[in-house]
Amino acid sequence: MTIATGDEALAADVLAVQTTAASALTAAGTALANSATALSNSVAAEASAAAAAALAAVALSVPALPVVSSVASNNTVPIGQSGSTVAVTLQTLLNPETIDLLATANPAADTDTFPSGQGSNVLLRQTLAAVWSLMASHLPDYHQPVVELTANTNLDGSTHNNRLLICSQGITITPTGTMGSGFVCDVVNVSGSNVTLGAGITTSNAGNVLPTGESARIVSATYSGGTVNFATLSAGSGGAAPATPGQVTGLAASGATSSTMTLSWTAPSSGGTPTAYTVNYQVTGAGSWTSATTSASGSPFTVTGLSASTSYEFEVIATNSGGSGMASSTVTASTGAATAAPGAPTNLAASEATSSTMELTWSAPGSGGTVSGYSAYFKVHSGSTWSLATAGLAASATSYTVTGLASGTSYDFYVAANSAGSGSTSSGTVTASTTTIAGPNAVTALAAGTVTNFTVPLSWTAPAIDGSHGAAATYTIQYRINGSTNWATAASGIATAYYTVTGLIAGLEYQFNVFGVNAAGSGSGTTTTGTPGPALGTFTYWGTGGYPNAPVTHGTTGAIATFTVSSSVATASFGWSATQVDPPATLQAMTLFNGNPLVYGSYSGNMPASAGTWYGWMIFYDSGGDAVFAVIATTGQTMQNGTAITPGVTAT
């Protein structure tokens, strides 16, 4: 490392030291030693007085110094300070170098460099040109942020600058002083109304309206003449609302019924483009128009709710955001005479009942007006509320199957004959009951799939449906350790014919039972066996604390300990069970001591809660909470001292 600062001062100081040392050598040896020591402190801290004197006699230069490959923060370099030569560490030399001590730079150029850290604390040199290149590579990926405006808005630099503003409502946009010079935003009107550009915005064609489907770019700039807020409107904006549509032509009425009239027309051939049509009607000569709609999308349109045998006048007006055009010429037409209501359907019957459906049949009315279609209704026989099963049956229909009924339930049914404008007439009611659904058969082909240490996947075939058994709606899955008589429920309400039982103890053989369920109840169960595993541990012996071989007093505190070999044990629990095949209902935590590979688990807690014969269970878990291994008190197990245990502990 080369330090150029202070080289000339250093050379002058060295010459002074040489002259002083030469005369002092003959006059005062002690003074020479002191001067040499001072010089050595700035060049080499460990140099002797004699070496300092010798060094003082040599003319130093930077190129003559040895070259080193690395430096440390505590290395020293000579500097000139207030006319003296002193030593300073590199850390002290570099730390005061703050930006205010640097000389003023020339205007920036692409060749300017600055320090850069690239993946480490090592400083590298980077150019400004490389920075511009990096920024340019990211610009194509830039997307203008979108802001939706739904209410009148005052433009603000922090919220709306360089944004795409989507107006989904007809609002007013107003400039404010917070926009700032250089502000720019794009505005798109997607509402069905005009967007108003508020006071203070000058537009490209003197208007202040942005019609629907048009856009504008708003900029704000401060210059010598003040501040201007300018909006460049899209080509279709026209600076104002669009021209109102011309007059609708060719209005005609047809398809009259006793309560409706269908109108058709031709769109205006002049003026602005219509976006909707208003349809008005009045009784001929009444002088007061009623609006049938203000938003008809086009021709044709059917006016409803008219009176039978009545003459009406109709007109149509085209509209857009610019306003309404001239009303069309009126057309006069009369509704048809009221028709007689149809007669009642006859011969209504209910048959082909299932547990959830009922088929209805009937005959068409023999009198009355024309039938336009049929509706079917039902209710629980003991209830009072009718439900509509369907209203869309054709005029030619004579049967319909009502679905969604409850099994084993009595229902009332009726069918209504409908007409176009003259009401409907109902048949008489008929009462019938759905069948009582039977429970499902037993599932078949129950099998265990590929097991893991803690899970067994099951699959089966849905039960067969016959005259005395219904379909299974869901399934219940049970499990127990092989030999137990007590089933535990793994899941119920399962709609699929497969399920994976989880949370099992590795190494133990299990039985699994699956049965179907429907509204009538449960089917017979089907069983199979499966063993998750293998167990991730090996039992050695009960520990120093021993296993109770004599009667104990229930509800008291005792100590149990065991040794097991396992590499996956994180926690353990102990509990008492009345059998060797039913896990304890209550488990208490054990303390684990790691031994490599021995794992020692000790338990201190309550003895059995009640009198009787009890068996000790220890269950070990991995860090994920899965049961990797279980120790169940069994004949043949011993304590650490070799004494055989009596598995069933008598609690008095």
Q: Which CATH number fits the domain that encloses residue 157?
A: 2.60.120
Integer-rounded Cα Rg, in Å, for the chain is: 49
- Kindly state whether residue 28 falls inside one of the protein's structural domains: yes
Same domain (yes/no): 561, 638: yes
Q: How confident is the model at residue 583 (pLDDT cuts 50, 70, 90)?
A: very high
pLDDT tens, 334-391?
998 887 889 999 999 999 888 789 999 999 999 888 899 999 999 999 999 999 999 9
CA distances from 129 to 104, 117, 119 (A): 20, 17, 20
Q: Give the whole-angstrom CA distance, residue 591 versus residue 603.
A: 6
Beta-bridged to residue 281, according to DSSP, are: 290, 314
Higher pLDDT, 238 or 515: 515
pLDDT tens, 151-207?
999 999 999 999 999 999 989 999 998 999 999 999 999 988 889 999 899 888 777
Q: Is the pLDDT of residue 2 over 90?
A: no
Cis peptide before 365 (omega within 30 of 0): no
Contact status, residue 310 vs residue 335, Cβ threshold 8 Å: yes
- Domain boundary among the residues 77, 94, 111 is at 94
Higher pLDDT, 567 or 318: 318
- Kindly state whether residue 104 falls inside one of the protein's structural domains: no
Q: Which two tokens stand for residue 14?
A: 């060295």
Same domain (yes/no): 636, 542: yes
Contact status, residue 560 vs residue 572, Cβ threshold 8 Å: no
Same domain (yes/no): 646, 560: yes
Q: How confident is the model at residue 21 (pLDDT cuts 50, 70, 90)?
A: very low
Residue 97 has a pLDDT of 55
Q: Which two tokens stand for residue 597?
A: 């590979």
Higher pLDDT, 55 or 282: 282
Q: Which two tokens stand for residue 400?
A: 């319909």
- Kindly state whether residue 108 falls inside one of the protein's structural domains: no
Same domain (yes/no): 544, 626: yes
Same domain (yes/no): 448, 522: yes
Same domain (yes/no): 375, 427: yes
Q: Which two tokens stand for residue 380?
A: 């629980």
Number of domains composing the chain: 6
Residue 99 has a pLDDT of 66
- Kindly state whether residue 125 falls inside one of the protein's structural domains: no
Same domain (yes/no): 618, 546: yes
pLDDT tens, 191-202?
888 899 998 998
Q: Which of 49-53, 102-106, 481-485, 545-549 has the highest mean pLDDT?
A: 481-485
Same domain (yes/no): 301, 359: no
Same domain (yes/no): 545, 525: no
Same domain (yes/no): 551, 639: yes
Q: Is 41 helix (H, G, I), strand (E, B) or coil?
A: helix
- Kindly state whether residue 339 falls inside one of the protein's structural domains: no
Q: Give the whole-angstrom CA distance, residue 192 versus residue 170.
A: 7
Output the domain CATH number for residue 453: 2.60.40.10
Q: How confident is the model at residue 567 (pLDDT cuts 50, 70, 90)?
A: low
- Domain boundary among the residues 480, 495, 530 is at 530
Q: Which residue has the tokens 């008005």?
A: 280
Same domain (yes/no): 320, 215: no
- Kindly state whether residue 293 falls inside one of the protein's structural domains: yes
Q: Shortest CA distance to 325 belongs to which of 264, 270, 280? A: 270
- Kindly state whether residue 44 falls inside one of the protein's structural domains: yes
Q: Give the whole-angstrom CA distance, residue 440 versus residue 190.
A: 58
Task: Report the residue count for the chain.
Answer: 652
pLDDT tens, 623-647?
888 888 888 999 988 887 888 888 9
- What residue numbers bound the domain in which 518 lies? 444-530
pLDDT tens, 478-530?
999 999 999 999 999 999 999 999 999 999 999 999 999 988 889 999 999 98
Q: What share of the chain is helix, strand, coil (3-state, %, to 5)?
A: 10, 40, 45
Tell me how many degrees the CA angle 125-129-133 measures, rounded to the nearest 5.
115
Q: What is the mean pLDDT of residues 20-45?
A: 43
- Kindly state whether residue 364 falls inside one of the protein's structural domains: yes
Same domain (yes/no): 425, 451: no
Q: Is the pLDDT of residue 144 over 50?
A: yes
Q: Which residue has the tokens 């044990």?
A: 569
Q: Look over the chain and give the mean of its residue pLDDT values, rounded to a whole number.
A: 83
Q: Is the pLDDT of residue 102 over 90?
A: no
Q: Shortest CA distance to 510 belongs to which of 486, 491, 485, 528? A: 528
- Domain boundary among the residues 34, 63, 94 is at 94
pTM above 0.85, yes or no: no
The CB-side HSE value for 148 (13 A sphere, CA atoms) comes to 5
Residue 483 has a pLDDT of 93
